[in-house]
Structure 1
Amino acid sequence: MIRLRGVDLDDLDPSGLRRLAPDLGLHRSDLFVLAGRRPVPADLRPLDPAASGAIGWLAWSLTYLPSAVPELHDLIRSLPQEPRPPDAAPPRRWQYPDGPGAVLVGLLHNRNLDWSGAAKFLFGVGHGPMLSASTIGMLGGGRKPLTPDLLAAFATFLDIPPADLSEATGISWPGNPPPSRPDVAALLWDARRLTAAQAEQILARARALRRS
């Protein structure tokens, strides 16, 4: 049974999860992942899986040029909303068996981070270890254990309360987690609505700012 803040999520149908999420202060798609309902409904997924590569590379600019975060976020919000591409289904390799790693990696995929992008954000923004892309996949598949320190490092750029992450994964919170980056978390969430071409536009601007 999956419980969150005293609520039995197993008892809720999809419409119930959608109604509950705002009351908990959570994104609807995140609540589906926390409840073990993966993949999330199509209308709640990131717009274009093909944008994940460019979004992942943003990690270095957001890490080494934090002053650029507001400008890049404003640019993301200024771009028009494009229709969802017809072939926007998530890759089959992003489907995982139930487990704490599947919850965490599912939340990363909700931000349109593929394995490589998640590794970049973990090392840069999250101040965690440098893991390979395949190791992130192993976390999702349960072949590498999710530790408290890893959970806290990833949580740096996830706008989800630590208590909820701990309860949903069954992983205790470490004593001294790294500081959170709500600015990066908000930018990442808004970037999930971008097409691949729009994400490349953001990445090009980020690289230009780093060179200036």
Structure 2
Amino acid sequence: MDKDLEKRLKEAAQEIIEINDQSNLDDLIKKTLGIYNDLIILSYLKKNPVKNFLNTENVINKNSIPEHIEPEKEKKIPDEIFVPKFDSVKEDMSQKKEFQDTVSIEETQKLFESRKPEGKQLSLHDKLSSSTIQVGLNDRIAFVNKLFNYSQSEFNKTLHGLNACKTKQEAFHYIQTKVKPNYNWSGKEDLEERFLALVERKFL
């Protein structure tokens, strides 16, 4: 055992025996812990002696390290030279030319084909639209509120009667005798004219 360490142990043991004042306990604990740590280190060193890592066997000979290492030259791979096959190119171009000629002939034939003018066929919606009075949403709201006293049913009844008329004169006569007497259209001439214009459009 190390002499210095042995001396410190004896001193600590003597202090523990002679201790009377509790205020010195902290200092005594610190000393004891320090000695304990020293003992652990000493025990470890005895079991695992430190080897001399600076012997000549472990020293790397500087002469064995080459001063300059030349990089290995990369081998260049020659690029493949593409040689077009003119036979396939000529064949492809000839096919395209034949196709273009075919298309041009067909287009020429279409230009000289005589077609009969097709008559315009009216759909069912067009036929119904031409035979009935068409009123847009904004006009419908304005007519119902201003000309028919907010009565949607009376407005629809009037349209039904006007759609049954065969001529414009018959429709205007229906308005003057059957419709206007039931409502006050005074001061509403703009709306009245717009309504009459929609009725007249039915007979154009």
Fold-level match, TM-score > 0.5? no
Larger radius of gyration: 2
| Class of the TM-score when normalised by the shorter of the 2 chains | under 0.3
Q: Relative contact order: is structure 1 or structure 2 higher (C-alpha 8 Å, sep ≥ 6)?
A: 1
How high is the TM-score relative to the length of structure 2? 0.18
Higher helix share: 2
How high is the TM-score relative to the length of structure 1? 0.18
